[in-house]
């Protein structure tokens, strides 16, 4: 039988993403759920594991509603303290807060710069071809969005896999991200996998060979050709796309690169 939500007074969103798991989130989740069960608070509270709360630098993180309270560095001890404070006193555990509604800034000692994308660099791209290039981000939320946008815009272009086989991007007929570790692209009757995470392979070197770890955006100087190169950790090319669609390039600059645009070097 599902929980009677009409009785729930507080909901605790516990992050279960990669960074939080590495910081011990799974054990924290188990221990705090045991506390809720054994203290008799199970039916009046609810816990939800989230895939990512978007604050990896403060892992493990929690969000508590109502109130929009964000917590940082939540281990098992701190987690139980947070539960006691909200359930017993109906107030936040102030010393563990990352952010609460009304705050003008976050209380984090680990804040990272938002400047993930570097300016375009003018250099040789390949075989004497000069142009501009920069590195973007390679997580699933970027790459799935990238191919979904191309599928929406369409146009002429070429997708080339690691073996050099070429597929017309105008024939891209499907994008499947039902497997959380692979994006499957369908070109007519053929399917291509772009691996954004690799499981089931014990050899670490082999895993790093298959997974996209670098996404590079480039524009050739002597032509209108622009493109994206996907590389593994060793810098080997896994796939690439080339195109002349200015609408898609504007999307890449604005969304994928956060507004970084090509500027010729003096």
CATH (domain of 72): 3.40.30.10
Tens-digit pLDDT profile for the chain (266 aa)? Answer: 688 999 999 999 999 988 899 999 999 999 999 999 999 999 999 999 998 898 999 999 999 999 999 999 999 999 999 999 999 999 999 999 999 999 999 999 887 765 578 899 999 998 788 999 999 999 888 999 999 999 999 889 999 999 999 999 999 999 999 887 889 999 999 999 888 766 566 777 777 788 899 999 999 998 889 999 999 999 999 999 999 999 999 999 999 999 999 875 54
- Residues 91 and 127 occupy one common structural domain: no
- Assess whether 80 and 140 both reside in one domain: no
Answer yes or no: is 216 within a domain: yes
In a domain, 112, yes or no: no
Could you list the residue range(s) of the whole structural domain that residue 89 is in?
5-99
**178 CB-near residues (< 8 Å, 6+ apart):** none
- 68, 99, 130 - which closes a domain: 99
Question: Residue 266: its pLDDT value, please?
Answer: 46
Same domain, 18 and 142: no
Q: How far apart are CA 171 and CA 156, in angstroms?
A: 9
- What sign for the dihedral angle of Cα 176, 178, 183, 189? negative
Cα–Cα distance, 167 to 103 (Å, whole number) = 50
Residue 228 to residue 241: CA distance in whole angstroms:
5
Assign 244 to helix, strand or coil: coil
Same domain, yes or no: 195 and 76: no
Q: Are residues 125 and 251 in the same domain?
A: yes
Q: What's the number of domains the chain is made of?
A: 2
Same domain? 249 vs 126? yes
CATH of the domain at 135: 3.40.1570
24 shares a domain with 127: no
**Residue 32 confidence (pLDDT):** 97
Examine the fold and report which residue of 99, 131, 155 is the final residue of a domain before the chain moves on: 99
Examine residue 201 and state whether it is found in any structural domain, yes or no.
yes
25 vs 19: CA distance, rounded Å: 9
- Is residue 207 situated within a structural domain? yes
Run of H or E residues at 242: strand 237-243
Q: Clarify whether residues 57 and 137 are in a common domain.
A: no
């Amino acid at each position: 039988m599902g929980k009677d939500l009409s009785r729930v007074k507080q909901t605790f969103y516990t992050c279960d993403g990669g960074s939080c798991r590495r910081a011990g989130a799974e054990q924290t989740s188990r221990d705090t759920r045991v506390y809720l069960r054994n203290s008799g608070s199970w039916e009046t509270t609810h816990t939800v594991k989230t895939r990512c709360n978007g604050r990896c630098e403060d892992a493990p993180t929690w969000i508590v509603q109502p109130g929009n309270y964000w917590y940082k560095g939540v281990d098992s001890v701190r987690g139980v303290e947070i539960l006691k404070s909200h359930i017993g006193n109906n107030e936040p555990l102030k010393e563990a807060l990352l952010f609460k509604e009304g705050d003008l800034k976050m209380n984090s000692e680990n804040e990272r710069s938002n400047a993930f994308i570097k300016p375009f660099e003018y250099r040789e791209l390949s075989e004497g071809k000069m142009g501009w290039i920069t590195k973007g981000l390679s997580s699933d939320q970027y790459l799935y969005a990238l191919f979904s946008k191309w599928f929406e815009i369409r146009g002429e272009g070429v997708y080339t896999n690691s073996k050099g086989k070429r597929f017309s991007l105008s024939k891209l007929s499907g994008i499947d991200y039902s497997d959380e570790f692979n994006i499957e692209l369908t070109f007519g009757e053929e399917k291509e996998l772009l691996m954004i995470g690799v499981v089931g392979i014990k050899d670490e070197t082999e895993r790093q060979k298959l997974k996209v770890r670098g996404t590079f955006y480039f524009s050739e100087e002597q032509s209108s050709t622009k493109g994206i190169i996907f590389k593994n950790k060793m810098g080997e090319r896994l796939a690439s796309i080339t195109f002349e669609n200015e609408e898609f390039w504007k999307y890449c600059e604005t969304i994928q690169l956060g507004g970084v645009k090509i500027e010729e070097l003096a």
